[in-house]
């Protein structure tokens, strides 16, 4: 195995290329919140920008819910940007697979859909997803959104 680098502490962890080890490291060492995910089904996630969320799909894939506070000129237009990054501990496995995700705050009519960025952790860097959706902070205590991820059929 090639080494796999933690995107938080930038250190290689052993034995590398193992999604279970990566999950254990991120939830144990860095207190990321873990959610289990079935493709095509909604999972309710707390999108507090001070936390990190990790989504584990039933086929073992790991997705990082990257959250950032978005500040606008008018405070009541502030929001939280959400992007989903697939974390690949093993550079060689499933590099061609594609995913998309959808975000829907409870009670909201509108859904926001975007592609999932795929990032290999081999070089110790998680590539930022330049495509994200922003959820407004309507009321201060509104941090829950439904997230749905699809694994797209392979292209031939």
Chain residues that interact with Zn ion, rule: CB under 5 A = 6, 8-9
Nearer to Zn ion by Cβ, of 54 and 145: the residue is 54
- Two tokens, residue 104: 């829907």
Nearer to Zn ion by Cβ, of 29 and 69: the residue is 29
Q: Minimum CB separation from Zn ion for residue 57, in Å?
A: 21
Q: Minimum CB separation from Zn ion for residue 64, in Å?
A: 12
Q: How far apart are CA 16 and CA 102, in angstroms?
A: 30
Q: Minimum CB separation from Zn ion for residue 30, in Å?
A: 6
| Residue whose C-beta lies closest to Zn ion | 6
The DSSP secondary-structure symbol of 19 reads: H
The DSSP secondary-structure symbol of 90 reads: S
Nearer to Zn ion by Cβ, of 8 and 152: the residue is 8
Q: Are 125 and 91 in contact (CB under 8 A)?
A: no
Residues 6+ apart with CB under 8 A from 50: none
Nearer to Zn ion by Cβ, of 80 and 120: the residue is 120
The DSSP secondary-structure symbol of 94 reads: S
């Amino acid at each position: 195995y090639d080494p796999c680098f933690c995107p938080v502490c930038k250190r290689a962890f052993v034995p590398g290329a193992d999604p279970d080890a990566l999950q254990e490291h991120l939830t144990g060492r860095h207190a990321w919140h873990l959610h289990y995910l079935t493709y095509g089904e909604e999972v309710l996630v707390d999108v507090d920008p001070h936390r990190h969320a990790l989504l584990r799909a039933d086929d073992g894939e790991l997705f990082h819910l990257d959250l950032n506070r978005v500040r606008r000129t008018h405070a009541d237009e502030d929001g939280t940007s959400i992007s989903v990054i697939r974390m690949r501990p093993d550079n060689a496995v499933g590099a061609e697979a594609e995913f998309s995700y959808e975000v829907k705050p409870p009670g909201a009519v509108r859904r926001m859909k975007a592609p999932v960025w795929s990032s290999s952790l081999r070089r110790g860097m998680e590539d930022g997803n330049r495509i994200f959706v922003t959820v407004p902070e309507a009321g201060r205590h509104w941090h829950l959104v439904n997230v749905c991820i699809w694994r797209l059929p392979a292209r031939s």
